[in-house]
Amino acid sequence: MELRGAACGYDGSPPVLSGLELTVERGGFVGLLGPSGAGKTTLLRTLLGAARLFEGEALVEGRSVRERKPRVGYVPQLEAIDWRFPVTVEQVALMGRAAENWAFPWHRKSDKQAAFGMMERLGIAGLAKRHIRELSGGQQQRVFLARALASSPRLLLLDEPVMGVDIKTRDDALHLLHDLNHQGVTIIMTTHEINAVAAHLPRVVCLNESVVADGPPREALTPATLKRTYGADLRVIEHEGMTLVTESPHRFGAAAHSRRNGGGDAGAV
């Protein structure tokens, strides 16, 4: 997929992102980083042909999304799900096949095999008849991943797949994505939790109005790029070959004190 000088956003407001230059080769695995509101979701929507493209071009598998909406696996942010809706795990997974075999009103055997095969692989086959709300956060995430994978996509877009889950669940999810990636699925995922991806992903892209940095974590995540991405002072530590990002140590009291005593932005608060 490729973005060439793309400016994208929504009708009636200025572009959220502009001057985007980004190429992800087949087989890539990329984490989009940025604070809330940076435009991570908007970038995914651009690739789906669901955001307004003001300028430039967005190509998926060589074809412009303006011409034809691409078929990719999409896992929305869990917050966007209607949890009161009466659907079971298997009904959600089967949705991934809703557009296949269009001449048949019901799901054909191949559809069921695809959906159930994925549920089995993701370890949620035993929960097939459960309502989607009766699951843990990690299981819920896997239900929607199963739906995406049931449509056998070559490109998988995930919006905040590791948000709000514990470390073990997050690690499991990222390992799963790694396995999929090794089997040839191109993956682009967003997150605002830096360390979740820094330790696992081969490539990160920092977003804030445009691409701020792009590359392997250890090159892309520097205090300068993080400052431009998050607007905050962050420290980067190399530890046993891993890149770790932490907050700069300061006490609120100390910061307030130094400001009051004629710090750089006195009176700004």
Q: Which does 81 bind (CB under 5 to 8 A by kind): ligand ADP, Mg ion, other proteins, none?
A: other proteins
Q: Which helix (H) or strand (E) holds 147?
A: helix 137-150
Contact between 16 and ligand ADP per CB under 6 A: yes
Contact between 47 and ligand ADP per CB under 6 A: no
For strands 2-9 and 17-23, give the pairing. antiparallel
CB 118 within 8 A of CB 93: yes
Exposure of 241 in the CB half-sphere (CA atoms within 13 A): 1
**Which member of 88, 139, 181, 195 binds other proteins (CB under 8 A)?**
88
- Angle subtended by helix axes 109-121 and 137-150, to nearest 10: 140
Q: Determine the straight-line distance between the first and last CA of the chain, rounded to whole angstroms.
A: 44
Exposure of 250 in the CB half-sphere (CA atoms within 13 A): 14
Q: Is the dihedral of CA 123, 126, 128, 134 positive or negative?
A: negative
Nearer to other proteins, 102 or 252 (CB): 102
Backbone angles phi, psi at 258, to 5 degrees: -65, -35
Interface segment toward other proteins; rule CB under 8 A; list 21-29, 56-64, 83-91, 216-224:
83-91
Nearer to ligand ADP, 50 or 167 (CB): 50
For strands 73-75 and 210-215, give the pairing. unpaired
**Which member of 34, 96, 161, 217 binds other proteins (CB under 8 A)?**
96
Interface pattern 107-136 for other proteins (x via CB under 8 A): x-----------------------x-----
At closest approach, how far in Å is the CB of 15 from ligand ADP?
A: 9
Contact between 231 and ligand ADP per CB under 6 A: no
Query: In the complex, which residues of this chain contact Mg ion (CB under 5 A)?
Result: 41
Which residues form the interface with other proteins (CB under 8 A)? 12, 48, 50, 69, 71-72, 74, 76, 80-82, 85-88, 91-92, 94-99, 105-107, 131, 151
Interacting residue ranges for ligand ADP, rule: CB under 6 A: 10, 13, 16, 34, 36-42
